[in-house]
Amino acid sequence: MTDRTEGRSHRQSPVHTHPGDVPLLTALSALADPVRIQLVRDLASHPDWTLSCSNFDVPVGRAAKSHHFSVLRDAGLIEQRDQGPKRLNRLRREEFDARFPGLLDLALRTDDAD
């Protein structure tokens, strides 16, 4: 099931996939990319809705970053909402953990070599 988040912006609101509708392979694939894992780790270390897309320091251009956020939304890992010109983000940790217990904890570990 997908839903649209109401936005107050000129751009189209993002479509979100509920973690309950995500196949395991999709979740694993989303977490396998180094840029996406960094985005997830950054979100995990901040309160919900405090980071806009421009706050992430990752070594890719704007279009690639947008693609990575889309992959994370499609995997049920993040939720986004527009607030003025900014697109704010939150990690859907509780919902994702209910679907894939322990997977996000493993992905967020920093003691393993990436």
pLDDT tens-digit map of 52-76:
999 999 999 999 999 999 999 999 9
> What residues of the chain score a pLDDT lower than 50?
2-9, 114
List of residues 6+ apart from 37 with CB closer than 8 A: 31, 107, 114
**pLDDT for 13:** 82
Strands (E) across the chain are located at 2-4, 15-17, 51-52, 78-83, 86-91
Q: What six digits make up the tokens of 92?
A: 């859907």
**pLDDT for 12:** 82
**pLDDT for 40:** 98
Q: Is the overall model pTM greater than 0.95, yes or no?
A: no
**pLDDT for 58:** 96
**pLDDT for 5:** 46
**pLDDT for 54:** 94
Q: Assess contact for 15 and 3: CB atoms under 8 A.
A: yes
